[in-house]
Chain A
């Protein structure tokens, strides 16, 4: 396996919460331009694994590499866009326009914070256009439908031109029709723009035809990392077929 091609790698990740083992010796890898689905039943530890990969939680044991660097040495966070499981948590009364939400990473990114106001505005417009929300820039985020809100969060994640887009159950609370549009958008970002996708989902059947890699977590923390075309399987990080 070409190591330079690997965008995200986890090795023997274990994590306990309040004395309860959530993840046990999980190993996996995601390659450049993969569309990877992280699947498993409720409470299997999918979102926990994602949070560990993004440095939001610290694993008890094991190592994470992002773009070839150990996570504690990784600085280039512009390369990663994150779309949280948002719909259920969003404060609908939050006084922020779509433009303010989408442009917020521009003021924190080392690479982008020195851009002129005009450039920041045009980057925001470009991002909103990519998700078909360019006409909603001045609307309040809380007044959009759940599907539109999630598109806005993708625009926000895309604004720093990330190479890896991480999504945590992005379609929670979205109706079926909107969900299909949403998956098509993600698929397009992967196929046409070459963005690597890692998506936690509880409903694998909907995206089965789009993904090329499945990271399956089962209760007890056993993890399978399957690349569909090559059928490469890592089991507990030890067995490769």
Chain B
């Protein structure tokens, strides 16, 4: 799984720490999400997408 979190984060000038605080998770969770090393729940994926003013489909890219 690939994500565009970093791209959207820099678009809004957000640090990993700030985004983590806004979503209500730890910074490590954002780091692992950005690297596609953690599969989030639908709730968390939606929460991150909403914070970055985008959709889940835009943010997460699933490659088969």
Same complex for A and B? Answer: no
